[in-house]
Structure 1
Amino acid sequence: MPKIDLYRNVHMGQRARLFALATELGAADVSHSGAAAEQAARCLAMTRELREHADHEDTFIHQLLRERAPEAADALEAEHVRLDAAFVALDERARTLTGIPAEDLPEAQHALYLALNEVISAYLAHLHAEETVAMPALWQYAGAEELGAVMAAFRASRTPEQSLTDLRRMLPALPPAPRAAIVRDVMAAAPHGQADRTLAAVSGTLSPDQRHRLHEDLGVPEVRAAG
């Protein structure tokens, strides 16, 4: 039975979306009406999401880590200092972008792009610490039942809408096999008669090729999800 990894899948989704945001911000034509405000809003939404994610980890994971492996918990707390400063700098850049005169927008856009990439740099280091220090420590000092209880408690804390958002953010970044395993479990837990609708909802952010592969792996004709 595979080890329970509390970080892997969600972190893969976060990396994919951070990299996409950086690429799209760098290439955006902010001279078009509303484009600067849209890019600023996307950056602010990302820092808000990452802060919420950190709160979830503190609530459901890091208390156990602090009890069982305090040195690993200390390593994560050290990462938070640089990370929090990067979030603040990005938020400040994003909030001022929409008030910039048109002739100054290209430089302001690039400054926002650099601030976003500073967040990504700090966040990648944070993810690396969680995945190579914190998770191995939890595997060593906490049992599978405890890790399963952590995962179950987090899932129970999410509304159906939040759970759907979590899946739609994460699934496009996963390989086919774990993606299909997750969706299969979600469909099995759906209310009676709602499995097809659930499949359509969770697969909405997948590319056409990813969606086709998912249906193949599940053994479900694609036309069923459209009904």
Structure 2
Amino acid sequence: MPRVDLYRYVHMGQRERLFALAIEVGAADTAQRDTVVSLTERCLAMTRELREHADHEDRHIHPLLRERAPEAADALDAEHIRLDAALAALDDRARRLPKAPDEELPDAQHALYLALNELISAYLAHLHAEETVAMPALWQTSSDAELGAVFAAFKASRTPEESLSDLRKMLPSLPPAIRAAIVRATLTTVPDDETGRTLAALTTTLDPGRRGRLYEDLGVPEAWALKPMENGRDR
């Protein structure tokens, strides 16, 4: 039976969104000023998300890691130094982009692109360290019950809205069977008359192909979750 993995699925979602953002920044038409503002907002939102993610790990995972595998914890601390610098550099480039004169926008856009890819390089190394050093160290020193308690504590710290956002970010990156298993488990936690609405909300980040496959794997028609609502309740 697979061990509890505290990093795997959330990291898959982060990788997909970082790669997609790099493509977006590189290909954007900065002749449109609303696009310039959007790029700034998207990059700053990404750095906020990554910092928040690091805070969650520091609060919920790393105390156990430092207790059971201090050398692995030290390795992650070293990764944070390079990562913090890359996050700050991307923030700086993102904030400077809208201030650039029109004739300097192409170079400013490319500088933002390079800063984003520098962050991606640092972040991929960080994820690799967590997945190949920290998680194996926790498997060697901690039981699944202890690891499950860490995950449960994180989930308890999230509001329903934050939990929904977490899943929306992660689901597009997962294999179909894993995606269906996570959604199925999530639906068991909501009242019966809310399952359709919850499923529809969970699938807003899935493209039509992935969404259709999910409904097929769940054994329900897509129209079931998308049916009209009346007075805030399912008809």
Unaligned 5+ runs, structure 2: 228-235
Q: Which residue of 2 aligns with 1:5?
A: 5
Q: Which residue of 1 aligns with 2:178?
A: 178
The answer to whether structure 1 residue 117 and structure 2 residue 121 are counterparts is no
Residue 31 of structure 1 aligns to which amino acid in structure 2? A
1:205-224 equivalences under 5 Å are 205-224=205-224
Unaligned 5+ runs, structure 1: none
Q: Look up the SS of the partner of 2:205 in the other structure.
A: coil
Q: CA deviation at 1:34?
A: 1.4
The answer to whether structure 1 residue 85 and structure 2 residue 85 are counterparts is yes
Measure the CA separation in 1 of the matches of 2:167 and 2:117.
25
The answer to whether structure 1 residue 24 and structure 2 residue 15 are counterparts is no
Q: Look up the SS of the partner of 1:46 in the other structure.
A: helix
Q: Which residue of 1 aligns with 2:54?
A: 54
Residue 4 of structure 2 aligns to which amino acid in structure 1? I
Measure the CA separation in 2 of the matches of 1:57 and 1:220.
35
What TM-score do you get using the length of structure 2 for normalisation?
0.96
Measure the CA separation in 1 of the matches of 2:203 and 2:34.
29
String of CA shifts for 1:85-140, please: whole Å, max 9, x gaps.
00011101111111100000000000000000000000000000000000000000
Measure the CA separation in 1 of the matches of 2:115 and 2:38.
16
Measure the CA separation in 2 of the matches of 1:9 and 1:17.
13
Say what the alpha-carbon RMSD is for the aligned residues: 0.6
Residue 143 of structure 2 aligns to which amino acid in structure 1? G
Measure the CA separation in 2 of the matches of 1:198 and 1:209.
19
String of CA shifts for 1:135-176, please: whole Å, max 9, x gaps.
000000000100000000000000010000000000000000
- Number of equivalent positions: 227
Percent identity over the alignment? 70
Q: Look up the SS of the partner of 2:33 in the other structure.
A: coil
What TM-score do you get using the length of structure 1 for normalisation?
0.99
Q: Which residue of 1 aligns with 2:38?
A: 38
Measure the CA separation in 2 of the matches of 1:36 and 1:84.
24
The answer to whether structure 1 residue 146 and structure 2 residue 149 are counterparts is no
Q: Which stretches of structure 1, 4 residues or longer, exceed 4 Å deviation after superposition?
A: none
Deviates more, 1:207-216 or 1:191-200: 191-200
Q: Which residue of 2 aligns with 1:104?
A: 104
Measure the CA separation in 1 of the matches of 2:65 and 2:191.
35
Measure the CA separation in 2 of the matches of 1:182 and 1:221.
18
